[in-house]
Chains A and B, each alone.
Chain A
Amino acid sequence: MTDSKYFTTTKKGEIFELKAELNSDKKEKKKEAVKKVIASMTVGKDVSALFPDVVNCMQTDNLELKKLVYLYLMNYAKSQPDMAIMAVNTFVKDCEDPNPLIRALAVRTMGCIRVDKITEYLCEPLRKCLKDEDPYVRKTAAVCVAKLHDINAQLVEDQGFLDTLKDLISDSNPMVVANAVAALSEIAESHPNSNLLDLNPQTINKLLTALNECTEWGQIFILDCLANYTPRDDRESQSICERVTPRLSHANSAVVLSAVKVLMKFMEMLPKDLDYYGTLLKKLAPPLVTLLSAEPELQYVALRNINLIVQRRPEILKHEMKVFFVKYNDPIYVKLEKLDIMIRLASQANIAQVLAELKEYATEVDVDFVRKAVRAIGRCAIKVEQSAERCVSTLLDLIQTKVNYVVQEAIVVIKDIFRKYPNKYESVIATLCENLDSLDEPEARAAMIWIVGEYAERIDNADELLESFLEGFHDESTQVQLQLLTAIVKLFLKKPTETQELVQQVLSLATQDSDNPDLRDRGYIYWRLLSTDPVAAKEVVLAEKPLISEETDLIEPTLLEELICHIGTLASVYHKPPSAFVEGSRGVQHKRLPGSAGSGESVDSPDPGSAAGVTEAPPAVIPSQGDLLGDLLNLDLTPPTTTGPPPAPSSGMQLGAMDLLGGGLDSLMGDESEPLGGDLGGSAAMGAGFGAPPAAMPASFSAPVSGGLDDLFDLGGGVGMPMGAYSPPKTVWLPAMKAKGLEITGTFARRAGVIQMEMTLTNKAMSVMTDFAIQFNRNSFGLAPAGPLQVLTPLSPNQSIEVSLPLSTVGPVMKMEPLTNLQVAVKNNIDVFYFSSQYPISMLFVEDGKMERQVFLATWKDISNDNEAQFQIKDCHLSSDAASNKLQGSNVFTIAKRTVEGQDMLYQSMKLTNGIWVLAELRVQAGNPNFTVSLKCRAPEVSQCVFQSYEAMLKN
């Protein structure tokens, strides 16, 4: 029997035929027809028109047919919600079936149908299935809770399913435990502050027991969950490690890597002098090596992870260099990754072997791979001083091959070698010069020019060489032009007599004929330097250069720590934090290694603590008022329960107001606060943190604002975002003068519900800048970077880079003066720099800031007139509608409009990230460019800032 025939029908009128067949009396024919429908669905044809006919086939004893119909339902129920109801009865009936396989099938499928009306009916059967006598049904029901939570989180909480799910962790069947853990972990991820996965030594013990008995997949769920736990002390940490290590011998690589993750994390807490610590290190190497004999795709994932592990704990694999040697038949993605690790592991002990290998690779065919191999040779020279000479001679051999891209790559790395070991290998310059003509890539040309300029005094025909480049000056890329300019100036300073003409030529090319401001600026500086004070010029241009670092491409330490917590996952494959590629609230939370946590921020495991009590308070019901606005509302026929944005709890406002007014947080945080930048030392702070148990946080410390806030975020999440949010133009925050050549200009923007700090970093210094990191001082609204600063490539001189840093509002809070002041510290390899900037408060207006009219009215009345502030906006030529639209783009929502005597009154609301509501009345008189804004808010401090934003938003 073959099913492929179902794929072949393509003729017209097919739907009608299928309809007839589906309604046929013959069972066989029906089944055939459903199969055809599924086949059409698979290839992407729209068969939703057959919905009622397919659903009619659902009532059958034939399980295969039933499964097919269910498959269809899962695909199309959402597009036909009313029809889908027809299926409910069958589901409910199936949930009572004596056959556990059918009960499970029903509950499993029902959870996949994302129709509100169906989910209502799902609750009762689900409750029964969670307590079913058969483990197969229970394990299916456990996952179903996660499904339901994804559709309607509130419902799951109200129905108490979360507690039942927690109980399942103690189930007698290991697979039920594993699925319950998986479901709870997923639900907890979307509620970072909830205490859902209450991991304590008892539950951990249960999990460890189940670990020995469940399926390979279950073991992965449990290990991934264990990795989120922070042991109380090193003893507990060790005992967990001991029970996890046997997993390293599992045949499933995912079990192995998840176990590695747990061990890598918990190891942080073990004292280094402990015998067990050494044993554990030794145990980690063999399984990691074994991963390399898996299928190539797994090898790739393993290698990306090993790259992280090697950076964090180089000692684990230091003797295993050979296994990373590239095999001729490895896929290219495996080859490139192996090469990276070889460089990381290169040391004096193995350098001879490594070099021999690299030389071999440099003769392969894949261009990317060859280039990387050549570059690797250069990096070895820089990393292992003893090998530099051998590396250089290897590179020279490669240059002799005359293969174009090999030569260019070699020249680029030789430049770095010259930088690292000045005055040592200049004898090779002659060979390099022979290849001048073959260089066609800017990077290689620039490197070659740099070499000629740097060693102009030893190259007899340096002037001729540089002159030859000068011919096509305007066709060169900026990189080459800048390098050429500098090189000729160097040459002039070294051999002034013969080269005066040349230097004049290049200066006029750079300053008069070029459109590039960087080039012009540099040209003018040289020109003036040379004309005013040649001695000073010599000091500046021929100054001694700072040394370059040994290790390159290292991942920034805080990011590395976070990635170690994500071993085995996509984040570890991309080498990016989950927030960089996961949408929504999931994964935004940053994980950190236990030993180093607790140094000033509470991102790790915020405790809902005091906030929980406040947010759970029921929203106050405000009776409607007999007013004009109230009348408008009464015309509205939609029942309040199903309207779009849920009514905001008025208590939220009080919470926000309290935070701002009281400043009581400061006293709570007293001990934890550190001078700004204290944590920027990165690795140093981390090192100190090892071995020490994480500092216990006072429960009240973890930013009470965040509790309420995240809930609000969740509500606002899916709503379509207007894109036209106002963002001020970039201004200079940190002038290069103050920051040893680093210039930062920037602005703030709110995009898709996320506050972004958008910066342009420009390197105006002469040396490469690396290792960027950023940190904020405590501020009024708890703004904090939601991820590390993503400057992955070193910033070379005269280069600028656009960085966009997503911000969260769950950081520590302290009232600032002015309110929207933000103090920032930026670190790079040179120093730490401080600056402050002010963000427009409109960044903090959240997407669900539209208040219900009734609530608006009541709130307006409720706030005392003392809290009202009135401002004038002058010279604003907008109609009231245009103004309203403009403001809406920045989440200022117009709730109602009233026209009295030619004057438009707009009633508007907005909500800040910390739950403070601001209500506004905007009066616009036709023909009068002066607007009047009245603001009412329970925290009157914000009024001034809001007004300023109003002005900026309207006039922009």
Chain B
Amino acid sequence: MIGGLFIYNHKGEVLISRVYRDDIGRNAVDAFRVNVIHARQQVRSPVTNIARTSFFHVKRSNIWLAVVTKQNVNATMVFEFLYKMCDVMTAYFGKISEENVKNNFVLIYELLDEILDFGYPQNSETGALKTFITQQGIKSQTKEEQSQITSQVTGQIGWRREGIKYRRNELFLDVLESVNLLMSPQGQVLSAHVSGRVVMKSYLSGMPECKFGMNDKIVIDKQGKGGSSEEGGKSGKQSIAIDDCTFHQCVRLSKFDSERSISFIPPDGDYELMRYRTTKDIILPFRVIPLVREVGRTKLEVKVVIKSNFKSSLLAQKIEVRIPTPLNTSGVQLICMKGKAKYKASENAIVWKIKRMAGMKESQISAEIELLPTNDKKKWARPPISMNFEVPFAPSGLKVRYLKVFEPKLNYSDHDVIKWVRYIGRSGIYETRC
């Protein structure tokens, strides 16, 4: 199991050091600093073995978090734990920075004592932890409160406490998708997938039972009828094939496995209900058509056309096209029809920004790149052209069909809950080779 956890600043000074196992000595702290943080070479692996001691690390801005062990631990669990630890810290004091870690070191030690016992992760749900670990120290609780805390921390529904009350029962549901694309210069899709998340904010009283439905092909086919007519969607398709999905621990997995229905008692506040992945019938919101011509050894002509490929009534936002330039670029002349374009020498790229663009339109940029003559034998690697954007629909075609709320003990019904649904499609790694 986990032998110890260290947090370092960018210089390699220890900010937090908590050792859980006797086989980890103080020298482990230095071993990691010397061999990883101060190593000359770029880090080649997130797992390092130094003198039969294994180190796992993740980095958040300038802060290194390292887990150390001498045993054959579950490596996946260690990384999941590190991410969780980061989440918990962020939930408590915001960004993980040297200053914040130092300012909250007592709290962090307290959390580490609670979340890991003898190197075994225990409950790491912020909601539950916040009930009894506070920066102000524990207030003396009544006996009922105490047993309520402990039963929540250890119980079956560790993510929600009893007795939550809201005057207005409200639900916010965001379908956030990032669409990933790798396209060949000729316009052939090499790989494309959507990774999506359903993020919720729930302000519901009591212990409500929720049921979530979407246009999952398997469910729709099972029911033997397509979705109702208003759910046609932009592409006209009625259901989508989900390759795989994973759920927040509140979702009853066995029920999903047998009936493919998503039922759960939600945590209070923000949480991620599910993640999913699709690869079929993806709407690619933009198409990038590059044209690169080398004119002699000192000049490069680049022309890039982007085409928006969605309903003309919708607007894409925050569009940014990044065209890499060779390292020996000496000057760039740019002409673009729309938006603003700039050559950024420090980033070796032309950055072209367009604030808004409607569907079924196209725009173009041309650039003349002057090159310094070099005797560098190595050819320019021609990194791909990448794109960023945001569109108000789900590129996978996913639609929320319903989200039902039942709370039998309290007197509010599904109809009394105010529900908001929003779709946002963003670019993930959206690249076209040139």
B429 close to A329 (CB less than 8 A) = yes
Question: How far in angstroms is the closest Cβ of chain A from B83?
Answer: 6
B246 close to A249 (CB less than 8 A) = yes
Given A67-B113, A136-B150 in contact, is the A573-B47 Cβ separation under 8 Å?
yes
B319 close to chain A: CB less than 8 A: no
B102 close to chain A: CB less than 8 A: yes
B42 close to chain A: CB less than 8 A: yes
Binds B, one of A35-43, A550-558, A655-663: A35-43
Task: Please name all residues of chain A whose beta carbon is closer than 8 Å to the beta carbon of B82 when the two chains form the complex.
Answer: 297
Contact with B along A1-13 (1 / 0, CB 8 A): 0111011000000
B244 close to A289 (CB less than 8 A) = yes
A296 close to B253 (CB less than 8 A) = no
Question: How far in angstroms is the closest Cβ of chain B from A140?
Answer: 7
**Restricting to A105-149, which residues have a CB under 8 Å from any CB of B?**
108, 111-112, 114, 134-137, 139-140, 143-144, 146-147
A143 close to B118 (CB less than 8 A) = yes
Q: Which one of B56, B182, B277 contacts A290 once the chains associate, using CB atoms below 8 Å?
A: B277
**Restricting to B147-189, which residues have a CB under 8 Å from any CB of A?**
147, 149-151, 153-156, 158, 182, 184
CA gap between A520 and B292 in the complex, in Å: 57
Binds B, one of A170-178, A597-605, A703-711, A925-933: A170-178
Task: Please name all residues of chain A whose beta carbon is closer than 8 Å to the beta carbon of B257 when the two chains form the complex.
Answer: 245-246, 249
Binds B, one of A400-408, A412-420, A731-739: A400-408
**Restricting to B115-149, which residues have a CB under 8 Å from any CB of A?**
117-118, 120-125, 132, 137-138, 141, 143, 146-147, 149
Q: Which one of B117, B158, B378 contacts A403 once the chains associate, using CB atoms below 8 Å?
A: B378
Task: Please name all residues of chain A whose beta carbon is closer than 8 Å to the beta carbon of B346 when the two chains form the complex.
Answer: none
**Restricting to B69-114, which residues have a CB under 8 Å from any CB of A?**
69-77, 79-83, 99, 102-106, 109-110, 113
B253 close to A250 (CB less than 8 A) = yes
Question: How far in angstroms is the closest Cβ of chain A from B39?
Answer: 14
Q: Which one of B76, B81, B252, B382 contacts A301 once the chains associate, using CB atoms below 8 Å?
A: B76
B249 close to chain A: CB less than 8 A: yes
CA gap between A139 and B21 in the complex, in Å: 19
Q: Which one of A104, A254, A572 contacts B80 once the chains associate, using CB atoms below 8 Å?
A: A254
B429 close to A108 (CB less than 8 A) = no
B14 close to chain A: CB less than 8 A: yes
A779 close to chain B: CB less than 8 A: no
Question: How far in angstroms is the closest Cβ of chain A from B97?
Answer: 11
Task: Please name all residues of chain A whose beta carbon is closer than 8 Å to the beta carbon of B49 when the two chains form the complex.
Answer: 574, 581
B105 close to A38 (CB less than 8 A) = yes
**Closest residue of A by beta carbon distance from B274:** A251
Q: Which one of B54, B56, B155, B249 contacts A216 once the chains associate, using CB atoms below 8 Å?
A: B249
**Restricting to A213-260, which residues have a CB under 8 Å from any CB of B?**
213-217, 220-221, 224, 243, 245-247, 249-254, 256-258
CA gap between A175 and B22 in the complex, in Å: 25
B110 close to A67 (CB less than 8 A) = yes
A289 close to B120 (CB less than 8 A) = no
B222 close to chain A: CB less than 8 A: no
B362 close to chain A: CB less than 8 A: no
A83 close to chain B: CB less than 8 A: no
Question: How far in angstroms is the closest Cβ of chain B from A134?
Answer: 5
A135 close to B154 (CB less than 8 A) = yes
B206 close to chain A: CB less than 8 A: no
Among B15, B80, B150: residue with most chain A CB under 10 A: B80
B52 close to A581 (CB less than 8 A) = yes
B379 close to chain A: CB less than 8 A: yes
CA gap between A365 and B383 in the complex, in Å: 10
Given A67-B109, A328-B384, A568-B74 in contact, is the A143-B120 Cβ separation under 8 Å?
yes
Question: How far in angstroms is the closest Cβ of chain A from B243?
Answer: 5
Task: Please name all residues of chain B whose beta carbon is closer than 8 Å to the beta carbon of A245 when the two chains form the complex.
Answer: 257
A143 close to B117 (CB less than 8 A) = yes
A160 close to chain B: CB less than 8 A: no
A98 close to chain B: CB less than 8 A: yes
Task: Please name all residues of chain B whose beta carbon is closer than 8 Å to the beta carbon of A114 when the two chains form the complex.
Answer: 22
A136 close to B154 (CB less than 8 A) = yes
Among A175, A224, A572: residue with most chain B CB under 10 A: A175
A842 close to chain B: CB less than 8 A: no
B106 close to A3 (CB less than 8 A) = yes
B253 close to A325 (CB less than 8 A) = no
A532 close to chain B: CB less than 8 A: no
Q: Which one of A43, A353, A587 contacts B71 once the chains associate, using CB atoms below 8 Å?
A: A587
A568 close to B77 (CB less than 8 A) = yes
**Closest residue of B by beta carbon distance from A572:** B75
A332 close to B42 (CB less than 8 A) = yes
B275 close to chain A: CB less than 8 A: yes
Given A300-B45, A570-B72, A572-B75 in contact, is the A101-B190 Cβ separation under 8 Å?
no
Question: How far in angstroms is the closest Cβ of chain A from B425?
Answer: 16
B118 close to A300 (CB less than 8 A) = no
A251 close to B248 (CB less than 8 A) = yes
Task: Please name all residues of chain A whose beta carbon is closer than 8 Å to the beta carbon of B297 when the two chains form the complex.
Answer: none
**Restricting to B185-242, which residues have a CB under 8 Å from any CB of A?**
190-191, 193, 195
A638 close to chain B: CB less than 8 A: no
Given A64-B137, A251-B248, A360-B433 in contact, is the A566-B46 Cβ separation under 8 Å?
no
Interface size on B, as a range, is 35 or more
B102 close to A3 (CB less than 8 A) = yes
A583 close to chain B: CB less than 8 A: yes
B70 close to A403 (CB less than 8 A) = no
A287 close to B154 (CB less than 8 A) = no
B246 close to A99 (CB less than 8 A) = no
A249 close to B245 (CB less than 8 A) = yes
A136 close to B379 (CB less than 8 A) = no
CA gap between A39 and B249 in the complex, in Å: 36
A568 close to B76 (CB less than 8 A) = yes
B254 close to chain A: CB less than 8 A: yes
A157 close to chain B: CB less than 8 A: no
CA gap between A331 and B134 in the complex, in Å: 37
**Restricting to A542-598, which residues have a CB under 8 Å from any CB of B?**
566, 568-574, 578, 581-583, 586-587
CA gap between A888 and B66 in the complex, in Å: 42
**Closest residue of B by beta carbon distance from A403:** B378
A212 close to chain B: CB less than 8 A: yes
Q: Which one of A100, A176, A401 contacts B147 once the chains associate, using CB atoms below 8 Å?
A: A100
CA gap between A573 and B29 in the complex, in Å: 22
CA gap between A363 and B82 in the complex, in Å: 35
A251 close to B249 (CB less than 8 A) = yes
**Restricting to B24-43, which residues have a CB under 8 Å from any CB of A?**
26, 29, 42-43
Question: How far in angstroms is the closest Cβ of chain A from B84?
Answer: 9
Task: Please name all residues of chain B whose beta carbon is closer than 8 Å to the beta carbon of A340 when the two chains form the complex.
Answer: none
B1 close to chain A: CB less than 8 A: yes
A403 close to B191 (CB less than 8 A) = no
A327 close to chain B: CB less than 8 A: yes
B76 close to A136 (CB less than 8 A) = no
Question: How far in angstroms is the closest Cβ of chain A from B181?
Answer: 11
Task: Please name all residues of chain A whose beta carbon is closer than 8 Å to the beta carbon of B383 when the two chains form the complex.
Answer: 328
A140 close to B102 (CB less than 8 A) = no
B182 close to A325 (CB less than 8 A) = yes
A425 close to chain B: CB less than 8 A: no
CA gap between A333 and B58 in the complex, in Å: 14
Task: Name A residues whose Cβ lies closer than 8 Å to a Cβ of B.
Answer: 2-4, 6-7, 35, 38-39, 42-44, 62-64, 67-68, 70-71, 75, 98-101, 104, 108, 111-112, 114, 134-137, 139-140, 143-144, 146-147, 150, 173-176, 179, 182, 186, 212-217, 220-221, 224, 243, 245-247, 249-254, 256-258, 286-287, 289-290, 293, 295-298, 300-302, 322-323, 325, 327-329, 332-333, 353, 356-357, 360, 363-365, 401-404, 566, 568-574, 578, 581-583, 586-587
17 contacting pairs across A/B (C-beta < 8 A): A6-B105, A42-B15, A101-B149, A114-B22, A173-B155, A215-B124, A220-B77, A243-B254, A252-B80, A256-B246, A258-B76, A290-B243, A290-B246, A297-B79, A301-B79, A403-B379, A582-B71
Apart from A249-B257, A250-B253, A583-B70, 8 more pairs, CB < 8 Å? A7-B102, A43-B13, A63-B138, A101-B138, A112-B118, A139-B154, A174-B156, A297-B46
